[in-house]
Chains A and B, each alone.
Chain A
Amino acid sequence: MEHLVFEFGPYPERPRPAAAVIVGVVGSGNLEALCESAPLGGRLRVEVSSSVHGFGNTWKAVLGDFADRVRLPDLLITINDAGATPAVVGLRLAQAAAELGAA
């Protein structure tokens, strides 16, 4: 298991999502992402637990683009990854963003 933490922002204040959002499932080539509000000083924080090692730079690039697109302050995203490709990561995050009303 590899644990990675990334922080982006801070981003300007905006209405927070009321409820937490969960997308995806933990299964081979897939991932589960839980998105919830958290007091992070306006930052967007992502905590990744991945079954695959050595893709830190790829995670950073994928998550950085996502954060830059949605610019959601005080959001904590917890990802349980079972070897998802960047394509699957991107789709799950896009689905989460749509649920959070930030698409």
Chain B
Amino acid sequence: MDRIWNRGERDRAARMARARAAGLGRIVEASRIGELLAAVLVPGDRICIEGNNQKHADFLAASLAKLDPAVIHDLHVVQSNLALPAHLDLFERGIAKRLDFCYSGDQGVRMARLVKEGRIEIGAIHTYLELYSRYFVDLTPRVAFVAAHSADREGNLYTGPNTEDTPAVVEGTAFKSGIVVAQVNELVDRVPRVDVPADWVSFVVKAPKPHYIEPIFTRDPANITEIQVLMAMMVVKGIYAPYEVARLNHGIGFDTAAIELILPTYAESLGLKGRICRYMTVNPCPTLIPAIESGWVEGIHCAGSELGMEAYTAARPDVFFNGPDGSMRSNRVFCQLAGHYADLFIGSTLQVDPEGNSSTATANRIAGFGGAPNFGSDSRGRRHVSKPWLMAGREAARPGGGTMPRGRKLVVQMVETYREKMQPTFVEKLDAWKLMDEFGLDLPPVMVYGDDVTHLVTEEGIAHLHRCATVAEREQAVRGVAGYTPVGLARDRAAVEGLRDRGIVQRPADLGIDPRLATRDLLAARSIKDLVRWSGGLYDPPKRFRNW
């Protein structure tokens, strides 16, 4: 008997025929979305509802949540972010059953409840790169629901600056005989540029409202504290300067915003311009504007965009990756890869244990990973060299550790010893262990492993963890910068002073930092309005950030 080699294509053709039979063409009216979903979905389908950090196919998500679970059920959801209530309504209502994802954010508590009630079966919690990779291995969506800014009558899509995950989702689906449904804000005669070609798109729906975008990367400089300024000074003088870190990835918290805002002031005074922070892989965070305008940052590739930064990025094509139409294009996969192979990652976390492992997991909440584990790990497949990579590699080499010289990525965790409400950041045991027991996970959900961390920065100083010779020494280095938390108070004072003599633990004074400079006056911009001014009026902050 002849083997059939195109079951997927035949299946897609059958679904498309059902839609045609219902009188649906490539452009579908929003009022008929229910009919479209009924035509193209079957129980057990693997689906992705594009839900990224920022951009959401919210109309499609809400429409899917209204399906009749007697007809469509047991869907397997494979998508990066579970951010909208509708995403979980699918499980609560029995339309979807299995879930493979990366990040849940605000929905983490409700997700934990649904898992306990047996309504969600979690396949695995991934990093972004892992999940996108699995779209091309064993988790290819059968039907993908994506969001774009506009479409033409043929179905060509323009994503605008928030391209984000769309290319990965569409490619995985369209090239494995899947169906791609796009919601767009507007139908136009001609899209400004083609981000997704029409023949990869099965259906286009103009949503009743523009898709939701969350401005999650805007940090108001008004909220940056003097402690954050002090830590930023330590990072610049104690890490960026000696290693000459030119290519790096910044996290998105206030800690790294403080670093960005002291480049034109403090770093300038140290004569570091042109030697550090030249190329970044990060979203277009508004706090980068002063460093860009004063010539520090020369190039930025973005995973997504940021509300209000559209005109600014469009006006700086030498810095950002903009299309022939003039607007920026982001791409989370490429940005994650670029960051993985950069020389340094710096970010914050919620908990750090004495081994230097860190986690954002807290009890009763399944938060997931996002991108930090990939950014925040040594890239062991890297082969090209740079000064910081070679220097860190030499420092990490151990007697008896083999004869082969290697490089090493700088992975920096930047935390205050206490978070708000006097919650210690340093703990003897991560909550991740509790979460593992509670949800029957195979491993504790660790964001960045201790042996990947080269530097731990707190207001107490810098611990150069990769230079510690033994695990015991490393533990004392962690405790040595853990301040007055119980973990810090339990340090062996003599051992920590020994590490200080060897420069493995450095206090602000050891770095020659004048604590009197650690004031908000050091910030190149102290408010959102200052950022608007630096941008020459190009930055247009969302209303909630305007207080003038």
Give chain B nearest CB distance to A98 CB in angstroms. 5
Q: Choose from B483, B514, B516 the contact partner of A86 (Cβ within 8 Å).
A: B483
A61–B516 CB distance below 8 A: no
Query: B489 on the interface (CB 8 Å rule)?
Result: yes
Give chain B nearest CB distance to A47 CB in angstroms. 20
Give Cα A58–Cα B515 distance, bound, in whole angstroms.
21
Per-residue contact bits, chain A 56-69, to B (CB 8 Å; 1 contact, 0 not): 00100110000000
B515–A87 CB distance below 8 A: no
Query: Which chain A residue has the least Cβ–Cβ distance from B514?
Result: A98
A88–B227 CB distance below 8 A: yes
B484–A62 CB distance below 8 A: yes
Give chain B nearest CB distance to A89 CB in angstroms. 9
Q: Choose from B226, B508, B514 the contact partner of A88 (Cβ within 8 Å).
A: B226
Most central of A58, A90, A97 by chain B CB within 10 Å: A90
Give Cα A61–Cα B484 distance, bound, in whole angstroms.
7
Within 8 A of B (CB), among A44-75: 55, 58, 61-62
Most central of B417, B484, B516 by chain A CB within 10 Å: B484
Within 8 A of B (CB), among A88-102: 88, 90-91, 94-95, 97-99
Give chain B nearest CB distance to A32 CB in angstroms. 14
Give Cα A95–Cα B460 distance, bound, in whole angstroms.
14
Give Cα A95–Cα B521 distance, bound, in whole angstroms.
15
Q: Using A61-B489, A95-B515, A98-B514 as known contacts, say yes or no to A87 and B509 having CB atoms under 8 A apart.
A: no
Query: Which chain B residue has the least Cβ–Cβ distance from A103?
Result: B509
Give Cα A98–Cα B513 distance, bound, in whole angstroms.
11
A91–B418 CB distance below 8 A: no
Q: Which residues of A lie under 8 Å from residue B514 when comparing CB positions?
A: 98, 103
Within 8 A of A (CB), among B398-445: 416-418, 422
B515–A94 CB distance below 8 A: yes
Give Cα A62–Cα B489 distance, bound, in whole angstroms.
10
Within 8 A of B (CB), among A17-50: 29
A86–B515 CB distance below 8 A: no
Chain A interface SS verdict (over half): helix
Chain B interface SS verdict (over half): loop
Give chain B nearest CB distance to A96 CB in angstroms. 9
Q: Which residues of A lie under 8 Å from residue B239 when comparing CB positions?
A: none
Most central of B416, B458, B509, B516 by chain A CB within 10 Å: B516
Within 8 A of A (CB), among B497-541: 508-509, 514-516, 518
Give Cα A103–Cα B511 distance, bound, in whole angstroms.
13
Give Cα A90–Cα B317 distance, bound, in whole angstroms.
44
Query: B378 on the interface (CB 8 Å rule)?
Result: no
Q: Which residues of B lie under 8 Å from residue A62 when comparing CB positions?
A: 484
A87–B227 CB distance below 8 A: yes
Give Cα A97–Cα B227 distance, bound, in whole angstroms.
17
Q: Which residues of B lie under 8 Å from residue A85 when comparing CB positions?
A: 227, 416-418, 422
B416–A94 CB distance below 8 A: no
Give Cα A12–Cα B516 distance, bound, in whole angstroms.
26
Give Cα A103–Cα B515 distance, bound, in whole angstroms.
9
Query: Which chain A residue has the least Cβ–Cβ distance from B416?
Result: A87
Query: B338 on the interface (CB 8 Å rule)?
Result: no
Give Cα A90–Cα B459 distance, bound, in whole angstroms.
9
Q: Which residues of A lie under 8 Å from residue B226 when comparing CB positions?
A: 88, 91
Give chain A nearest CB distance to B487 CB in angstroms. 13
B489–A91 CB distance below 8 A: no
A91–B416 CB distance below 8 A: no
B422–A91 CB distance below 8 A: no
Give Cα A102–Cα B226 distance, bound, in whole angstroms.
21
Q: Using A58-B484, A94-B508 as known contacts, say yes or no to A87 and B417 having CB atoms under 8 A apart.
A: yes
Query: B285 on the interface (CB 8 Å rule)?
Result: no
Q: Which residues of A lie under 8 Å from residue B508 when comparing CB positions?
A: 94
Query: Which chain A residue has the least Cβ–Cβ distance from B513?
Result: A94
Q: Choose from A55, A90, A97, A98 the contact partner of B483 (Cβ within 8 Å).
A: A90
Q: Which residues of B lie under 8 Å from residue A103 when comparing CB positions?
A: 509, 514-515
Query: B230 on the interface (CB 8 Å rule)?
Result: yes
B483–A91 CB distance below 8 A: no
Give Cα A99–Cα B416 distance, bound, in whole angstroms.
24
Give chain A nearest CB distance to B173 CB in angstroms. 48
Query: Which chain B residue has the least Cβ–Cβ distance from A99?
Result: B516
Q: Which residues of A lie under 8 Å from residue B459 when comparing CB positions?
A: 87, 90-91
Q: Which residues of A lie under 8 Å from residue B418 when comparing CB positions?
A: 85-87
Within 8 A of A (CB), among B447-500: 458-460, 483-484, 489
Give chain B nearest CB distance to A14 CB in angstroms. 18
Query: Which chain A residue has the least Cβ–Cβ distance from B422?
Result: A85
Give chain A nearest CB distance to B461 CB in angstroms. 11
Give Cα A95–Cα B515 distance, bound, in whole angstroms.
5
Give Cα A55–Cα B508 distance, bound, in whole angstroms.
25
- Which 8 pairs show the lowest CB-CB distances between chains A and B? A94-B515, A87-B459, A86-B484, A87-B227, A85-B418, A95-B515, A98-B516, A95-B516
5 contacts between A and B (CB under 8 A): A29-B225, A85-B227, A87-B483, A88-B226, A103-B515
Please report A residues at the B interface, Cβ cutoff 8 Å. 29, 55, 58, 61-62, 85-88, 90-91, 94-95, 97-99, 103
For the A-B complex with A88-B225, A98-B515 known, give 20 more contacts whose Cβ atoms are closer than 8 Å: A58-B484, A61-B484, A85-B416, A85-B418, A85-B422, A87-B417, A87-B458, A87-B460, A90-B460, A90-B483, A91-B226, A91-B515, A94-B509, A94-B515, A95-B515, A97-B515, A98-B516, A99-B516, A103-B514, A103-B515
